[in-house]
Structure 1
Amino acid sequence: MTPKKKAEKSRQDKPQSLLQQLAAKPEKLFTGKFRQQYGALCFRYKEDETTIEILVVTSRDSGRWIIPKGWPMERKEPHEAAAIEAWEEAGVRGKVRKKPVGRYTYLKLLGDGDVVPCIVDIFQIEIKEAHDNFKERGERILAWVSPDEAARRVREVELKSLLVDFTPRGSRSQTLP
């Protein structure tokens, strides 16, 4: 094998970043193949009742900081799916707003190694209960932090913006799940 071919093979064997993988298949961005997810922006008021803290959790695969999120669920409204994700990933429940407070996009690495662009609609949940026993306990780290700190921890630029600017909205909510 020639040195040039060895170098090419070496480059091909190295893991590529999500952006590199997507750049190799730009048609994914332009074919309407975005996948939908629902996220939970979980917050609680501190003792002063004016300052809020936001819940961030680590992902199970890479350990990076995220908000609880997941795929649509059969026979569940989007805000209900977000509330279920908050419960399963972090053991928290509260008042969930039925309308999204924002959305962001990111690249999801699937189990088969494929990369897909995702749109995440975000639903605010004012947390009223936190439990130690939940489905993904021991698989994630949870942290209650200021909106600025939450924004510093997550990677997605659009999500950073939403977290920094987050102000709890409205009273049109429902306790779930």
Structure 2
Amino acid sequence: MSELVARTGRHQQRYEAGCRLIAGCIPYRFRYLEGDNNGNKSDDKILEVLMINSTSGPGLLFPKGGWENDETVEEAAAREALEEAGVRGDLMHFLGHYHFKSKTLQDEFSPEGRCRAAMFALFVKEELDSWPEMSRRVRSWVTISEAMQCCRHSWMREALENGFNKWSAGGMIRTMKATNQVSVDASDGVKNHLLQPNF
């Protein structure tokens, strides 16, 4: 298997109306709850999302980065998940566009650092032992409530709360109000609900 290498530089970066275009995702998985004291296995599942550390300060992030000219927005989101978090999977749903400003992303095409991120839900099927940014990134699987508390950026919390939770509330995934976690019935299946973003 060839070595995976992260893309660098901004020579292929997409811009629109003074905004740097970003693609990212909220990776997720289902974890079975532990069984009872008699050794019986549980059929209950907990939904967890994967976050990574920020390289510029405290708090956790979802994988995201620049959308480039030679790829679709879906390809960019999947690439960022692989480069930053070392995961592969299926893009299940388009969560929406989220606007933010970044001092580190200011350049001649976006002097104010304005960005527009297209975010997706990514169902994780493979978690790699080695990935391009593993020397700079630490992965953390957390519950929805934990993610809301430790997320570094408000726009990412919005993507989780308004995008991910609204999508997942359609019957497949239900919030357990008593524990503030998310539970999935064993009979529920994962269906592909990928929606194309409008650009």
Fold-level match, TM-score > 0.5? yes
Q: Describe the shift of the 1:51–1:164 C-alpha distance in structure 2 as closer, same or farther (beyond 3 A).
A: farther
Partner letter of residue 126 of structure 1? F
Distance in 1 of aligned mates of 2:157 and 2:105? 26
Partner in structure 1 of residue 177 of structure 2: none
Distance in 1 of aligned mates of 2:146 and 2:154? 14
Q: What is the total number of aligned residue pairs between the two structures?
A: 142
2:106 corresponds to 1:109: no
Q: Among residues 63, 68, 79, which one is paired with 2:63 in the alignment?
A: 68
SS at match of 1:74: coil
1:148–1:163 contact (8 Å) kept in structure 2: no
2:61–2:156 contact (8 Å) kept in structure 1: no
Partner in structure 1 of residue 174 of structure 2: none
Partner in structure 2 of residue 33 of structure 1: 18
Q: Superposition RMSD on alpha carbons, in Å? A: 2.5
SS at match of 2:148: helix
1:151–1:161 contact (8 Å) kept in structure 2: no
Partner in structure 2 of residue 23 of structure 1: none
Pairwise CA distance, 1:45: 0.7
Partner letter of residue 18 of structure 2? K
Pairwise CA distance, 1:127: 0.3
Partner in structure 1 of residue 73 of structure 2: 78
Pairwise CA distance, 1:63: 4.7
- Which structure has more helix as a fraction of its residues? 1
Partner in structure 2 of residue 125 of structure 1: 122
Distance in 1 of aligned mates of 2:98 and 2:106? 23
SS at match of 1:110: helix
Distance in 2 of aligned mates of 1:95 and 1:125? 5
2:62–2:156 contact (8 Å) kept in structure 1: no
1:101–1:122 contact (8 Å) kept in structure 2: yes
2:106–2:114 contact (8 Å) kept in structure 1: no
Distance in 1 of aligned mates of 2:106 and 2:99? 20
Q: Describe the shift of the 1:141–1:89 C-alpha distance in structure 2 as closer, same or farther (beyond 3 A).
A: same
Bigger drift between 106-115 and 157-166 goes to 106-115
SS at match of 1:101: strand
Pairwise CA distance, 1:60: 2.3
Partner in structure 2 of residue 90 of structure 1: 85
Runs of 4+ in 1 over 3 A off after TM superposition: 111-115, 167-170
Distance in 1 of aligned mates of 2:144 and 2:70? 32
Structure 2 length as normaliser, TM-score?
0.62
